[in-house]
Amino acid sequence: MTPLIELSGITKSYGHVDALNGVDLTLHDNEIIGLIGDNGAGKSTLIKILSGVESFDSGTMRICGKAIDPKRHSVRAARRMGIETVFQDKSLGESQSIWRNFFMGRHRTNALGLIRVQHEKKEAMRVLTETLGLGGAGLSAGAPVSVLSGGERQGLAIGRAMYFNARVVILDEPTTALAVKEVGKVLGFTKTLKQGGKSGIFISHNLHHVYDVADRYLFIQHGRVVHEARKENESPESLIKTLMKWS
Ligand SMILES: Nc1ncnc2c1ncn2[C@@H]1O[C@H](COP(=O)(O)OP(=O)(O)OP(=O)(O)O)[C@@H](O)[C@H]1O
Ligand SMILES: [Mg+2]
């Protein structure tokens, strides 16, 4: 089967800084991969390229077998191809209501072109409460995003990606700065994605979190994938040892 994502020899420089030095990466259907590496290794740069925020300098990128022209790739194009990225905070409008935020840029309209407010409110709440199992006191369709806890915010972004049928959900450090209980929720959402047949890329400095949700681990160092490991051959402890060896 054609991989969902295939990167080969991807390079990216910011002026004199070589952020990526020839990255090879393959993501298969219904697979979660974990990106592991030190600060500045190139993890975020890599996912920015995939999600269309940044372009790459050389190498090839294929999404569902289709070669991507770096000059024409964009966040919109990536979304159209089913790649959704959940950034830690940037993608959430703080003062917006939960339901508006959920449907941001993709509102459902009626024959007159008016937003179907009640339908959108109901759908947003259905995904958050039924699909993701959230039930916090502040969670109501009309409440502003600013009242949500860190885990609920991640849930909103992940739920949106699920609702709009993303094939690949990219999560860049979704558990950073969350309380233990909230971390559990975000790890749970990521597993829900996998159970729903989706694929994902999960970045975290916490190897226990990465170990838990991913099927395969890629170690990134100086803008390259230097080592690959599979869950069946690893424990959280052995991943930590490998990280020490490669950093
Ligand atoms: N816009 C930019 N301009 C210049 N240099 C950049 C830019 N973005 C990233 N870099 C550099 O590229 C390298 C890779 O950065 P990147 O953000 O991809 O690392 P990372 O692996 O995500 O690190 P962290 O774990 O700290 O988030 C770093 O040396 C960084 O300073
Ligand atoms: Mg980063």
Return the pLDDT at 109: 94
Q: Which of 12, 14, 206, when mutated, tests ligand 1's pocket best, judged by the most ligand atoms within 8 Å of its CB?
A: 14
Predicted local distance difference test score (pLDDT) of residue 92: 62
Q: Is the dihedral of CA 207, 211, 214, 218 positive or negative?
A: positive
Ligand 1 neighbourhood includes 50 CB (under 6 angstroms): no
Structure tokens belonging to residue 116: 């179907």
Residue 61: both structure tokens together? 């990128």
Report how far residue 202's alpha carbon sits from residue 172's, in angstroms, rounded to the nearest whole number.
6
Ligand nearest to the CA of 53: 1
Specify the amino acid at residue 70: P
Q: Please indicate, yes or no, if residue 106 is contained in any of the structural domains.
A: no
- Ligand 1 neighbourhood includes 104 CB (under 6 angstroms): no
Distance CA 150, CA 200 (A): 20
Q: From the CB of 233, is ligand 1 less than 6 Å away?
A: no
pLDDT at 245: 85
Does residue 152 fall inside a structural domain?
A: no
- pLDDT (tens digit per residue) in 101-111: 999 888 999 99
Is residue 107 assigned to a domain?
A: no
Phi, then psi, of 174 in degrees rounded to 5: -70, -15
* Per-residue confidence (pLDDT) for residue 209, from 0 to 100: 95
**Residue 78 is part of which domain span?**
5-85+158-246
**Pocket lining: 131 vs ligand 1, CB cutoff 6 Å:** no
Residue spans of the chain under pLDDT 50:
none
Q: Ligand 2 centroid vs 203 CA: distance in angstroms?
A: 8
What's residue 153's pLDDT?
Answer: 84
Is the separation of the CB atoms in 236 and 206 below 8 Å?
no
Q: How far is the CA of 39 from the centre of ligand 2 (A)?
A: 7
User: 138 lies in a domain?
Assistant: no
In a domain, 28, yes or no: yes
**Any bridge partners for residue 86, and if so which?**
171
Asked whether 131 and 192 are in contact (CB, 8 A), the reply is yes
Q: Does the C-beta of 16 come closer than 6 Å to ligand 1?
A: no
Q: Which residues contact 133 (CB under 8 A, 6 or more apart)?
A: 188
* Closest ligand by atom to 205 CA: 1
Residue 212 lies in a domain: yes
**Domain harbouring 200, CATH code:** 3.40.50.300
| Per-residue pLDDT at 91 | 58
Given this model, what pLDDT does residue 138 score?
77
Tally of domains in the chain: 1
From residue 242, give the alpha-carbon distance in Å to each of 1, 215, 236: 30, 16, 10
Q: What is the dihedral of CA 60, 90, 213, 207, to 10 degrees?
A: 90
Burial class (CB in 10 A: 0-12, 13-18, 19+), 164: middle
Residue 220 lies in a domain: yes
Residue 224 bridge partners (DSSP): 221
Mutate to test the pocket of ligand 1, among 12, 36, 45, 175 (most ligand atoms within 8 A of CB): 45
User: Whose CA is closest to atom 16 on ligand 1?
Assistant: 42
The answer to whether residue 101 is domain-embedded is no
Query: What region does 227 belong to: left with phi over 0, alpha with psi -120 to 50, or beta?
Result: beta
The ligand 1 atom nearest the CA atom of 39: 26
- Torsion on CA atoms 51, 202, 230, 42, rounded to nearest 10: 60
**Spacing, Cα 30 to ligand 1 middle (Å):** 28
Distances (CA, A) of 131 to 111, 126, 127, 141: 29, 7, 5, 15
Please give the Cα distance from 126 to 75 (Å, whole number): 26
Spacing, Cα 218 to ligand 2 middle (Å): 14
